[in-house]
Structure 1
C-alpha cells in the first residue's frame, strides 16, 4: 500500500510498467472531467472507473482484495476513510470474474482521501475503501485499475 499526494505520484514511476502508464495518463489528464463509468487507458491493463459512491460505516465492514489488479483510489469530490489490513479471515471467497474477495480482521492502517491524496492498494492487500468521514456521506471518485498479476498469480513484467 502507498498513500501520498497526487503531486508526488510521479515519484512511484518504475515500480511496474502498468503503473507507469497510469501515472503518465494522470499527469496529462484530469479524471474529474471524465463521465461516470469505465474509461480505458490501455485496454484491460489500465482503466479508470469513475463513480458516485454512497459511503458506509467502517466498523464491521469487510476488507476487499484483488488478485489481478491494483486499485489507485482518488476522491474527486468529498472525502472518505480507508482501512488496510495485513491479512484476514475469509468472509466471501475470491471470485475471478469480478477479481474480488473479502476478508475480516483487524485494521493495521487507516487514512483519509480527498484534498489531493491517493491510496494505492496492491494485489493481495486487504483494503476497506468508501467509509464515511465525519463531514461526508458520499463522494465522486476515480478508481484506476492497474493490472499487475496474471490470473495464475505471477507478477506481470
Structure 2
C-alpha cells in the first residue's frame, strides 16, 4: 500500500509498467471531468471506474482484495476513510470473474482521501475503502484499475 499526495505520484514511476501508464494518463488529463462509469486507458491493462458512492461504517466492514488489479483510489469530491490490513481470514471463495475476495482481520493502517491525496492498494492487499468520516457520507471517486497480477491471493492467515 502506498499513500501520498497526487503531486508526488510521478515519484512512483518505474514500479510497474502499467502503473507508469496510469501516472502518465493522470498527469495529462483531468480525471474529475470524466463521466461516471468506465474509461479505458489501455484496454484491460489500465482503466478507470468513476462513481458516486455512499460511504459505509468502517466498523464491521470486511476488507476486499484483488489478485489481478491494483487499485489507485482518488476522491474527486469529499473525503473517505480507508483501512488496510497486513493479513486476513477468508470470508468466502474468491470471485475470479469480479477479481474480488473478502477477508476479516485487524486494521493496521488507515487514512483519509480527498484534498489531493491518493491510496494505491496492490494486488493481494486487504483494504477497506469507502468508509464514512465525521464530515463526509458521500464521495465522487475515481478508481484506476491497474493490472499487476498477484496469483497467491490475499495475505491470508
> What residue in structure 1 maps to residue 132 of structure 2?
132
Q: Considering only aligned residues, what root-mean-square deviation do their CA atoms show, in Å?
A: 1.0
Which residue of the partner structure matches residue 25 of structure 1? 25
Aligned to 2:9, what secondary structure does the other structure show?
helix
Whole-angstrom CA distance in 1 between matches of 2:93 and 2:83: 20
* 1:135 Cα deviation from its structure 2 partner: 0.5
In the alignment, which residue of structure 2 is the partner of 1:141? 141
Superposed displacement of residue 119, structure 1: 0.1
Which residue of structure 1 aligns with residue 101 of structure 2? 101
Report SS of the residue matched to 1:124. coil
Tell me, yes or no, if structure 1 residue 87 matches structure 2 residue 87: yes
Structure 1 position 63 matched with structure 2 position 72: no
Structure 1 unmatched ranges of 5 or more: none
Superposed CA offset, 1:80-106 (max 9, x none)? 000000010111221100000000010
Q: Please report the TM-score for the alignment, with normalisation by the length of structure 1.
A: 0.95
Normalised by the length of structure 2, the TM-score is 0.95
Q: Unpaired segments of 5 or more residues in structure 2?
A: 153-157
Structure 1 stretches of 4+ moved >6 Å: none
